[in-house]
A and B are shown apart, each in its own frame.
Chain A
Amino acid sequence: MLNLVYFKDYSIKKNVHSYRQGDLFIAHDVNSGSLHVLDEGAYDVIKAIEKLQEMLETVTTEGICQILRQAGKTVIAEELSEILDELEELRKEGTLFSAEAENVLPMYPEKPIVKAICLHVAHDCNLRCEYCFAGTGAFGGSRTMMDVETGKKGIDFVIESSGHRDHCEVDFFGGEPLLNFGLIKSLVEYGRKAGKAHGKTIKFTLTTNGVLLNDRIQEFLEQEEISVVLSLDGRPEVHDRMRPYADGRGSYAKVTPLIKQFAAKRPESSPYAQGTYYYVRGTYTHFNLDFDRDVLHMADLGIKQISVEPVVASPKDAYAFQEGDLEKIHEAYDRLGEELLLRRAQDRDFNFFHFNIALDQGPCMIKRLSGCGAGHEYVAISPEGDLYPCHQFVGQEAYKLGSLYDENPHQLKDEVVKSFRSAHVYSKPLCRECWARFACSGGCHAANVSFTQSLTDVYTLGCELQKKRLEVAFYIKIKEIQQDLM
């Protein structure tokens, strides 16, 4: 019989997320990371306990029965006692109603260990995407290219700053980085040599809109094993509306064949962004709330690694999500989940980034609490050599960490480093109580700051989408495991 006294100090709402998805009743145990499928009776019992807690009532068998009856359920004593027994077994086993690990906080060395940089090699772009956070490439400044000296200094910086870590990451970003392909080539060569001299492996990635992805560049990316993130929004009309050239023409017709061609070179690409991978990513907005069709459009093009993500916009933008969009977005995720399962069963498999979760092989608690590491493990470098917490903060003076041209570039501005380090899950009031906290890691600092002007208050619309994606991701995981067991 379930020990009901336990629920005096244990909040279900925060620690066990139970919900319906498709034909399943699911319980996710937040602290252990376990997943269970319930029958309707067991689901009702957990929800009844949750309800009692919400009403600030003591949890008793009588109270549970009362809630069940109020909801029009017939209570069969024998069945209820079976359920309570099973719940107790799982509680004892530590896979349901498990307690939160205490006093865990991310610990950092005194001096930041920066192991990843984002090099803004071109603050210019050959497209004029509507939703670009970079002010169509220029980041609020003038259109500039990074020079070789700055690029090399950037690579030296990450090699030195990464201390005893033997892996560093360098992402070529923009604007459109391929506008400065000459520099990328030189820096890859330089980085390989410098890395070797210091016993380090540098993993290069490139984020591009695909316009310049010609054969020569594709070959280079293949040869150098550079992971590539390519931008495509989906159906032609959706893509062209948001991703035009400066003269207003759409870019779909140009980039799609190139992206397809490149994706076909990497059939074994990892959905978990391991090794040398590619991802084709898009952004959905108020204009395509049925973005599941855009994902499927890309899958139909033969693209296997797909990510389509919600735009982060200011409410005055026409493409920003509006009151009432949320339900449609949820439905789109539901449909996408079902379609993904269907296609997998037919061997027409593809991966949707946000539905891939490595449950039991996922990262440790410490990583989950600290999130992206912007501002102390990860920095972005502007064409001029200025250092910022991440690519989205580039150009925002208040967040500048320093410059590669400072006497000691490793002396990052202390107050900025500290504010990012301390913006972990437990410092955010809403996240502390949220069931998604260990998968979400408190969201994106840049989105949070742009909506709330604070690193510790979160962008709540983003929360709703995050939680929905997780619900569908768990559902898919369960369906697949059940299939394998059959």
Chain B
Amino acid sequence: MAKHIQTIVKANLSSTAKTGGCGKCQTSCQSACKTSCTVGNQVCVK
């Protein structure tokens, strides 16, 4: 058990550079006028 650091979320985003890009996900909008979804809030559909 680590004493000084606790890992809360272990992710591997970099690896999705190879596996991703299917384009099936919903279109997103980062702006204030139209909350469809922003990239940060999106869930991958794969």
Contact = CB atoms under 8 A, between A and B. Distances in A.
Interface of A: 27, 31-39, 41-42, 79, 82-83, 86-87, 89-90, 93-96, 98-101, 104, 106-107, 113, 115-116, 118, 133, 165, 167, 169, 171, 173, 203, 205, 207, 229, 271-274, 279, 281, 283, 307, 309-312, 353-354, 356-368, 371-374, 377-378, 390-392, 438-441, 443-444, 446-447, 470, 473, 477-478, 481-482
A42 B4 contact: yes
Interface pairs A-B: 9 shortest CB-CB: A364-B20, A33-B11, A364-B16, A366-B21, A309-B32, A33-B13, A116-B27, A101-B17, A273-B37
Interface string B1-34: 0111111111111111101111111111111111
A391 B27 CA distance: 13
Q: State the majority secondary structure of interface residues on A.
A: mixed
A363 B20 contact: yes
Nearest to A469: B40
A366 B15 CA distance: 11
B44 A364 contact: yes
Contact of B40 (A171, A357, A481): A357
Contacts of B37: 272-273
Interface size for chain B: under 10, 10 to 19, 20 to 34, or 35 or more residues? 35 or more
Given A32-B13, A307-B35, A365-B14, 5 more contacts: A207-B33, A359-B9, A366-B17, A367-B39, A440-B39
B33 A273 contact: no
Interface of B: 2-17, 19-44
Given A33-B11, A33-B13, A372-B27, A361 B40 contact: no
B34 A367 contact: no
B16 to A, nearest CB: 4
B28 A371 contact: yes
Contacts of B35: 229, 273, 279, 281, 307, 309, 353
A441 B39 contact: yes
Nearest to A390: B29
A368 B39 contact: yes
A273 B8 contact: no
B23 to A, nearest CB: 7
A10 to B, nearest CB: 14
A34 B10 contact: yes
A169 B34 contact: no
A362 B39 CA distance: 8
**For A96, A165, A271, A365, which residue has the most chain B Cβ atoms within 10 angstroms?**
A365
A38 B41 CA distance: 25
B14 to A, nearest CB: 4
B32 to A, nearest CB: 4
A181 B26 CA distance: 25
Contact of B17 (A113, A365, A377): A365
A136 to B, nearest CB: 13
A404 B9 CA distance: 47
17 contacts: A35-B11, A37-B5, A83-B4, A90-B5, A93-B10, A95-B10, A95-B11, A101-B15, A165-B23, A272-B37, A274-B26, A362-B13, A368-B39, A377-B23, A391-B33, A441-B30, A444-B30
B23 A447 contact: no
A273 B26 contact: yes
B32 A32 contact: no
B38 to A, nearest CB: 8
Contact of A95 (B7, B22, B39): B7
Contacts of B11: 32-35, 95, 359-360
B36 A38 contact: no
Nearest to A230: B35
B43 to A, nearest CB: 5
Given A207-B34, A353-B41, A444-B30, A478 B8 contact: yes
Contacts of B2: 86, 89
B46 to A, nearest CB: 8
B33 A133 contact: yes
A42 B3 CA distance: 10
Contact of B34 (A38, A173, A358, A470): A173
A171 B22 CA distance: 22
A169 B12 CA distance: 29
Contacts of B3: 39, 82, 86
A32 B28 contact: no
A363 B5 contact: no
Contacts of B30: 371-372, 440-441, 443-444
Nearest to B7: A36
A439 B9 contact: no
